[in-house]
Structure 1
Amino acid sequence: MKTESPINKDLILRERLALQRTILANQSTFLAFLRTSLYFFVAGLSITSLLNLTNSITIEIFFFTSSFIIFLIGIVNYFRQKKLIIESEKNIGDFINNYL
């Protein structure tokens, strides 16, 4: 008669920690998008005084538009990845419930 080997609970812990690292990486990526968006916004605000341009409205509009687009991409990316993380977490949860 075969005896089954005990379940390696370290594997379950590693999977939980990997999910936590993935969540933190997703949040860090969103903050990087936000930071870049703010850089473009500040550049749009300060371009007139920095370069002493009188008709710099097109450059300002470019920076403000770029800032807004980068911010939207960051938000969409964050929620799309969050949804994928939650779906993968459900799979890990089923695995844990089956073997506990």
Structure 2
Amino acid sequence: MDVKTENNLNKDLILRERLALERTIMTNNTTLLAFIRTSLYFAIAGLTLNNLLSIRYGSVIEATCWSLSVIILSVGIKNYFVQKKKIKDSEKHIGDYKLEWEGGKKK
């Protein structure tokens, strides 16, 4: 393969990898928003169940829903930052696609 073809191939691969990373970043943001939305649903459910319905253990149900809301929000935020770190680490390897195929040595 001549140098010009290899340079074009390398630029195309780098562009593809960068676009894939951007999609992954947007997906991570969307996932965080889904966790926040679910957390808010549980918080609102707990609030409305206790205030609108006269249930014998309404305060227990409300506390359970609020606890689940906080847990879901905490898991979502933790997941977001773990994935963000993984994405940042994988960004270092853009353009080094030959490393996998050449046994880890760059020529």
Q: TM-score, normalised by structure 1?
A: 0.84
Match of 1:66 in 2: 68
Distance 1:81 1:3 in 2: 38
Q: CA RMSD in A?
A: 1.9
Instruction: Quote the sequence identity (%).
Output: 51
Distance 1:3 1:18 in 2: 27
Matches within 5 A, 1:54-93: 55-92=57-94
Structure 2: gaps spanning 5 or more residues: 98-107
Structure 1: gaps spanning 5 or more residues: none
Match of 1:6 in 2: 6
Letter in 2 for 1:72: S
Runs of 4+ in 1 over 3 A off after TM superposition: 2-5
Distance 1:86 1:55 in 2: 47
Select which of 4, 11, 17 maps to 2:19: 17
After superposition, what is the alpha-carbon deviation per residue over 1:47-83, rounded to whole angstroms, capped at 9, x for unaligned? 0233222541110010000000000000000000000
Select which of 44, 47, 50 maps to 2:52: 50
